[in-house]
Structure formats: C-alpha cells, structure tokens
Amino acid sequence: MEITIVGTGCAKCKKLEDTVREVVGEQGVDASITKMTDIKEIAQTGILMTPGLIIDG
C-alpha cells in the first residue's frame, strides 16, 4: 500500500502524518508513507484544502 500525505507542513499536516504512522503501525499494514509538499504538485491532484491523504493513487 502506498500512502501519500498531502500538505505544506502546517500543524494539521504533521498531525495527520503522526496519526497515519500510528494506525499503520498498530494495524501492521505493509505501507510506504510519503509526503507531498510542493504546492504545484498538490494543485495537480485536485485536492483543494490540505491536509489530504492519497491511498494507492
């Protein structure tokens, strides 16, 4: 599973990352977690507000 956390690094984005990492660890899910912080790249996803979460594309 590929999980991408989308956000520019605000407090809510960091909290989402912490929560995702915690849940993945608790559930024993085999997941790759990455962060997308480039505003131009974020805009291309169609996400209008951050934080956002993309799972398996």
Q: What are the chain's domains?
A: 2-55 (3.40.30.10)
**Amino acid 6: pLDDT:** 97
For this structure, is 13 an active site residue?
A: yes
For this structure, is 23 an active site residue?
A: no
The catalytic residue among 5, 6, 13, 16 is 13
**All residues at 6 or more sequence positions from 47 whose CB lies less than 8 Å from its CB, including other chains:** 6
**All residues at 6 or more sequence positions from 36 whose CB lies less than 8 Å from its CB, including other chains:** 4, 5, 6, 7, 42, 45, 54
- pTM for the whole structure: 0.89
pLDDT tens for residues 5-26? 999 989 999 999 999 999 999 9
Q: State the DSSP H helix or E strand holding residue 18, giving kind and residue range, or none if neither.
A: helix 11-27
Q: What is the mean pLDDT of the chain?
A: 95
**Amino acid 4: pLDDT:** 98
pLDDT tens for residues 20-47? 999 999 999 999 999 999 999 999 999 9
The catalytic residue among 2, 8, 10, 18 is 10
